[in-house]
Homo-oligomer: A and B are copies of this chain.
Amino acid sequence: MMEHNLEHTISLLTRTPAALNALLRDLPEAWTFRNEGEDTRGEKSWSAFDVVGHLIHGERTDWMPRARMVLQFGETQTFESFDRWGHVRESQGKSLEQLLDEFARLRSENLGELRALNLRPEDLERRGRHPALGVVTLSELLATWAAHDLTHLHQISRVMAHQYREAVGPWSAYLGVLQCAGHSSP
């Protein structure tokens, strides 16, 4: 395991839009618009399309707005709660290809802004206040931005693999992704 490294974080954040674009653009909708059904509480699970909408919503309302709050207000002001269903609004009436373009554009703008902050090691130790987690550091926030991309790439692979759960026949026993229980966050 490694400590947080801002250049490593930016390297990863830079690549996610192109990776999702290469994986999802013009793929048959049977892969991208289907989900994993309803969970035990009857809540609709997400399709790859929903996930890209969610990533866009995060670019608009989560990562850089919170980073700015840490730098401006420290622990004195609590972050806005993130709306886990905010992507429904973002995605309405759009195609997956439009969402992929929008995600790439917003991510690029946000990374431009992040680089322009020229954060020094001591800035990364600055603290903010999360509505549920309490005190967090800017370093943790930025590391989470990168890990959050990976959690959703992990989810997209799982949701897509689920569509072939029956089609693979007895091989389902060997495919780790089909044993993954989802681990959805609260």
Q: Residues of A with Cβ closer than 8 Å to B?
A: 1-5, 7-8, 11-12, 15-16, 18-24, 27-28, 30-31, 34, 130, 133-134, 136-137, 139-141, 143-144, 146-148, 150-151, 153-155, 157-158, 160-171, 173-180, 182-186
Decide if B175 touches A144 in the complex (CB within 8 Å).
yes
| Chain B positions within 8 Å of A151 at CB level | 157, 161, 175-178
CA distance A163 to B91 in the complex (A): 31
Query: Please, which residue of chain B has its CB at the minimum distance from the CB of A141?
Result: B171
CA distance A151 to B18 in the complex (A): 20
Decide if A177 touches B147 in the complex (CB within 8 Å).
yes
| Chain B positions within 8 Å of A160 at CB level | 12, 150
Pick the contact of A176: B20, B146, B182 (CB < 8 A).
Answer: B182
**Given known contacts A30-B2, A140-B171, is B182 in contact with A154 (CB within 8 Å)?**
no
Pick the contact of A143: B150, B164, B174 (CB < 8 A).
Answer: B164
Least CB distance, A131 to chain B, in whole angstroms: 12
**Given known contacts A12-B31, A15-B23, A182-B176, is B167 in contact with A157 (CB within 8 Å)?**
no
Pick the contact of A166: B3, B31, B136, B182 (CB < 8 A).
Answer: B3
**Given known contacts A147-B175, A157-B154, A177-B183, is B19 in contact with A170 (CB within 8 Å)?**
no
**Given known contacts A163-B1, A176-B182, is B11 in contact with A136 (CB within 8 Å)?**
no
Decide if B176 touches A1 in the complex (CB within 8 Å).
no
